[in-house]
Structures are given as structure tokens and as C-alpha cells.
A = this chain, B = another copy of it.
Amino acid sequence: MAFTLGIDFGTNSARALVVRSSDGAELGSRVAQYRSGRQGVLLDSRDAHLARQYPGDYLAALEESVRGALAAARRTRGFSARLVAGVGVDTTGSSPIPVDRRNRPLALHRKWRRNLDAQCWLWKDHTSWREAALITQEAARMRPAYIAKCGNRYSSEWFWSKIWRCLTAAPAVFKAAHSWVELADWIPSVLAGVTDPGKVVRGICAAGHKALYSDEWGGLPDKRFLSALDPRLAALRDRLYARAFDATTPAGSLCADWAARLGLPAGIPVAIGEFDVHYGSIGCGIRVGTLVKVIGTSTCDCALVPPGRVPDIPGICGIVPGSIVPGFQAIEAGQSAVGDIFNWWIDTVCGGDPEMHARLTAEAAHQEPGQSGLVALDWQNGNRSILVDPRLTGLLVGCTLQTTRAEIYRALIEATAFGARMIIERIRDYGVPIRRIVCAGGISEKNPLLMQIYADVTGCTMHVAGSNQACALGAAIGAAVLAGAHRDFPSAQSAMTRVKKAAYRPDARRRRTYNRLYAQYRALHDGFGGVRRRTDLSNVMKELLSIQADSRAA
């Protein structure tokens, strides 16, 4: 009997999960919060775009979560930490960390400890929006192929934007950094005891989706392109990496030091790092025709296509071979804020306690679609897909003197559902089939109202992943394949994943009303999110009032 361990580094905490390789049974798990900043995120009150993390928090959470999960698993007969045959890691991203020559994050040095620019640049940091726009511009001019596969827009959430921003805003940090390592690569390299950034095994997932890496053009962007941005970026290229790998290649084997710290056998394989939703998609049983939605503070959408069949899809962030399941191309899209929007509404605007989520949800559940007369845009943190523009903001239209906060709460949920529908329609428009949707993430577990609204808005049945720890499960599956417990990923997924029996099915009547509201959402989406585009929005408020009247009359 063999077991593997999956460790999921989320935005606010890390979670370790012990899994039985034969059937995916989950034996024990443990969550460890990051200790610094606000819920683990370092903020700057002068710049709302900034979001960083202290790398030391990851190490503390790694130890706490793994030891806790092993302790929990020990309650199961037949389990022993000695039987753990591999470890897999997934993280947020793009979250690059400036490191020294020994692969040690600058922030772990006393000198840089308090410097925000020397920390991990968290995925949701948008300080580099100017740099992202310039990269898009230069690529369009010099290397259009570079961005064709990421929706023709390079994002401020990504690797090169962030590093270039650091160079501009904090040149001393840039200079002190020998290299930069994605969090998804860095944690496995720590477990494998790698003390040279040049020897860190880099995953195709972070490289391909965020760093413009592709075998098509020989790896990372060439020096001529990087020099056009800044010659110092071209010089950095030599200190990054030449190749990136899919999950058939391990990141290394567990070093003695960390084996001792975690209480695991030394030498077992450490799977290559992937982003949370990518291993999460594996944990949801992704295959061709499936869309996996990981719905949390933000949402990520993943789909697979056999090699050679993927068109470039405008506005979809990434299409990378092998970045989820080896042998398949992966499409990734997403919404920059989902749960974050609901939290913002309740915490920052309504000043509510944690129980207010339940109260407003209960109230909103009694409302019919269209009854509030509201429609919102879900861009409080910009728009990742399909506009790929962080310089967009939230919008709410239709308020009257009777509008309640529960109505606005529901309108915000609906806005994220409309955003989800935009993505589904864009992917389908380019010939990629979506026949089945599997949702994971905290919200898909805890918010049946949202799930039903998503089904009604999209017209698709929403399945829920069998595991509520799909990301960690996927990482554990990656380790199980490496450890030889299964022949390949598809067979490992068949054995180790499932969906819940109960699913959310669309209701035809509610869907008709949502089709009318969606038309208004699209008008606003195109009107505010387009480029120098004139739109007729003069009937939006009246149409919302008509939908409201029809909804109340029904």
C-alpha cells in the first residue's frame, strides 16, 4: 500500500493532504495560515495594486501543514509516514521570488527583511500594469507569436512584468537578486535541497503560462526582445533557465534535511511544481471536453485539448502544451476576483461580521432573477479573461432608493456568473468543446446559491469535485504517477478522482431572465471594456426596470 502527499500553497494559507494512491482516499489534512500581513498578504496603503508575501511564511506553513496532515493520517490503520512514496506541490502564480546565488530568497536576509520589493510578488500584485502594457506593445511590434497564445495581452500578474517593475521601482533589489524563481518551482526546489537557482527544475506550467516560454522559439523570450525592454532583463535571462518540464519529470528527491523536518522518508520523488488550478484540474478529473472551474477568491478555468488542435483564442490567458496533463495542451482562463468581491462587499462596505455572508445569502436566495433591477460588472480587481486588463473597475447599475444590500450581494454573484459565461462562450466560439463543467474550491462547496446561479446563467450543469481539496489531491496524484503507483495521469485520475452525486442543473425559466440580464451585462462589458468603442447604453436602465417588472409580475 502506498501514499503520497499533496501540498497546496494558496493565497492565505497552505494545506497538506495525505492520499492513498490506489483509490484517492484522503487520510488526513492540515491547514496552516501564513503569519505576516493581512491574512498572509503584505499590503501598502499607498498603493492598492501591491500584494506581496514573506517567503519565510511558506517554510513555516510547509512544516506545520505536513506534520499536521501526517499526524491526522496516522489515525488510519495501515498508514505510516514511512509509506509515503512521493510529494507534490502546487502554488499560486505567477508569484516570482528574488533569490540569491544559493537559491535563498532575499527577504530571508536581515537586510531585505522589511523591504516590500524583496518579498514574493504575489499573483494578485498589479503594480506592474505599466510594464505589462509595454511588454504587450513591444511583443506586438517585435514578436507577435509571444503573446498570440496568451490572448494577445501580457498581464501585470505575470513574471516579466513583475521583474521589470522591480527593476524600475526598486533597482537595488533587482541588482541584489541573482535570479528569480516562481513560488511553484521554489518550494519543490527547497524540498529537493537545491541551493543553486540554475539547478532548480522549472515547470512548464509557470514558464509557459506566465514567462513567455515555448519550445517554438527556443525557451524564454530571446535577448533582443528583452533588451528592447531593458538590457538588464536580457542579462538576467542567462541566470534564469534554458528548459522547462512537464509533470513526467520530477523536481528532485526529498533532501535529508527536509525529510527530517517533515518526518518523511528521504529520497522519495518530489513532483514538479504546478499552479494550484492546474494540479487542481487533475484532482477534478480533467479530460478533453471538461472545463474545470476552481472558484475561490478568484476563479481559474482550465480545459484540455489534444496537441496540435488549439487555435489562438483572443483574450484567453494561456495555451501551453503539457502544462496540466503531459501530452495535452492546456487552456487557462480566469476571473481576477470572485470570492474577493463578496468579501469586499461584506467586510469593507457593509462592515459585516463573518455571519453576514450566511444572512445575505439566505436573503438573496429568496430573490428571483431580475427582481432587483440590478446588474454589475465583476471587475473590482480588473478583468483577466477575456479583456486581460487590470485597469478596469467595478460597476453597479440599477440602484433605486429601495435597493438592499442583499440585492447588491446577489447582483455581485450574478456578475461573476456572467463573467464566467463570457469565458465559456469565448472558448466554445473557437471550437474547443465544453461538454462537462466540474467546479472545485471553497465557494463551490459552501455556496449552493452561487452554484445554482452559475448553472442558470450559463445553461450548464455544474458538477462539484468529489474532493474539497482538489488542488492538493492533484499534486498528490502527480507524486503518485512519479512514484509508479499508476501507469499515467489518465489512469491515475480514473482511480483517484470523482465528482459528487448532487449537481446543479439549469432551470429554463430562470435562464430566460438571465439571458435578458446577460445582454445588458454584455453591453456594459463591451462599452466599458472595449477600446475606443461607442456603445448605445441608453436603454440599459429601462430594460433593467422592464426585466424587474416582468420578474415581479411572474
A residues engaging B (CB < 8 A)? Answer: 46, 48, 337, 340-341, 344, 348-351, 373, 379-381, 391-405, 408, 527-542, 544-545, 552
The distance in angstroms between the C-alpha atoms of A537 and B405, with both chains bound, is: 27
Given known contacts A350-B349, A528-B540, A533-B536, A48 and B402 CB-to-CB distance under 8 angstroms: yes
Q: Which residue of B lies closest to A390 (CB)?
A: B545
Given known contacts A350-B350, A529-B538, A536-B533, A393 and B398 CB-to-CB distance under 8 angstroms: yes
**Residue contact A538 to B544, C-beta cutoff 8 Å:** no
Q: How far is the CB of A539 from chain B (nearest CB, A)?
A: 8
Of A337, A381, A534, A552, most B-chain CB atoms within 10 Å: A534
Q: Which 7 residue pairs across A and B have the least CB separation, nearest first? A: A394-B399, A534-B534, A48-B402, A395-B397, A530-B538, A344-B401, A534-B536
Contacts of A398 in B (CB 8 A): 393-395
Q: How far is the CB of A391 from chain B (nearest CB, A)?
A: 5
Contacts of A351 in B (CB 8 A): 350, 405
The distance in angstroms between the C-alpha atoms of A381 and B539, with both chains bound, is: 17
The distance in angstroms between the C-alpha atoms of A116 and B55, with both chains bound, is: 66
The distance in angstroms between the C-alpha atoms of A403 and B337, with both chains bound, is: 14
17 contacts between A and B (CB under 8 A): A46-B552, A48-B401, A348-B405, A349-B405, A350-B405, A380-B401, A380-B403, A391-B545, A393-B544, A395-B399, A396-B396, A527-B538, A532-B536, A532-B539, A535-B535, A535-B536, A535-B537
Which of B341, B527, B552 contacts A401 (CB under 8 A)? Answer: B341
The distance in angstroms between the C-alpha atoms of A405 and B349, with both chains bound, is: 5
Given known contacts A349-B404, A394-B399, A405-B348, A537 and B528 CB-to-CB distance under 8 angstroms: yes
Given known contacts A340-B401, A400-B393, A533 and B527 CB-to-CB distance under 8 angstroms: no
Q: Which residue of B lies closest to A347 (CB)?
A: B401
Q: Which residue of B lies closest to A356 (CB)?
A: B351
Contacts of A350 in B (CB 8 A): 349-351, 405
The distance in angstroms between the C-alpha atoms of A397 and B392, with both chains bound, is: 10
The distance in angstroms between the C-alpha atoms of A397 and B552, with both chains bound, is: 27
Which of B337, B537, B542 contacts A527 (CB under 8 A)? Answer: B537
Q: Which residue of B lies closest to A49 (CB)?
A: B400
The distance in angstroms between the C-alpha atoms of A329 and B255, with both chains bound, is: 91
Q: Which residue of B lies closest to A47 (CB)?
A: B552
10 further A-B contacts with Cβ under 8 Å, apart from A395-B395, A396-B397, A532-B536, are: A46-B552, A340-B401, A349-B408, A391-B545, A527-B535, A527-B538, A528-B537, A534-B534, A535-B536, A535-B537
The distance in angstroms between the C-alpha atoms of A541 and B392, with both chains bound, is: 6
Q: Which residue of B lies closest to A129 (CB)?
A: B545
Q: How far is the CB of A287 from chain B (nearest CB, A)?
A: 34
**Residue contact B533 to A538, C-beta cutoff 8 Å:** yes
Which of B379, B396, B400, B528 contacts A538 (CB under 8 A)? Answer: B528
Contacts of A400 in B (CB 8 A): 48, 380-381, 393-394
Contacts of A348 in B (CB 8 A): 401-405
**Residue contact B403 to A344, C-beta cutoff 8 Å:** yes
**Residue contact B541 to A528, C-beta cutoff 8 Å:** yes
Contacts of A379 in B (CB 8 A): 541
**Residue contact A391 to B541, C-beta cutoff 8 Å:** yes
Q: Which residue of B lies closest to A524 (CB)?
A: B537
The distance in angstroms between the C-alpha atoms of A396 and B394, with both chains bound, is: 8
**Residue contact A337 to B401, C-beta cutoff 8 Å:** yes
Q: Which residue of B lies closest to A529 (CB)?
A: B538
Contacts of A404 in B (CB 8 A): 348-349
The distance in angstroms between the C-alpha atoms of A373 and B537, with both chains bound, is: 22
Contacts of A373 in B (CB 8 A): 393
Contacts of A528 in B (CB 8 A): 397, 537-538, 540-541
Contacts of A545 in B (CB 8 A): 391, 393
Contacts of A396 in B (CB 8 A): 394-397, 399
The distance in angstroms between the C-alpha atoms of A442 and B262, with both chains bound, is: 67
Contacts of A380 in B (CB 8 A): 399-401, 403
Q: Which residue of B lies closest to A349 (CB)?
A: B405
Q: How far is the CB of A384 from chain B (nearest CB, A)?
A: 14
The distance in angstroms between the C-alpha atoms of A98 and B343, with both chains bound, is: 50
Of A349, A405, A531, A539, most B-chain CB atoms within 10 Å: A349
Q: How far is the CB of A413 from chain B (nearest CB, A)?
A: 15
The distance in angstroms between the C-alpha atoms of A344 and B408, with both chains bound, is: 13
Q: How far is the CB of A400 from chain B (nearest CB, A)?
A: 5
Q: Which residue of B lies closest to A337 (CB)?
A: B401
**Residue contact A531 to B538, C-beta cutoff 8 Å:** yes
Q: How far is the CB of A161 from chain B (nearest CB, A)?
A: 17
The distance in angstroms between the C-alpha atoms of A403 and B542, with both chains bound, is: 28
The distance in angstroms between the C-alpha atoms of A533 and B527, with both chains bound, is: 12
**Residue contact A538 to B532, C-beta cutoff 8 Å:** yes
The distance in angstroms between the C-alpha atoms of A400 and B146, with both chains bound, is: 30
Q: How far is the CB of A354 from chain B (nearest CB, A)?
A: 16
Contacts of A344 in B (CB 8 A): 399, 401-403
**Residue contact A403 to B552, C-beta cutoff 8 Å:** no
Of A46, A344, A544, most B-chain CB atoms within 10 Å: A344
Q: Which residue of B lies closest to A535 (CB)?
A: B534
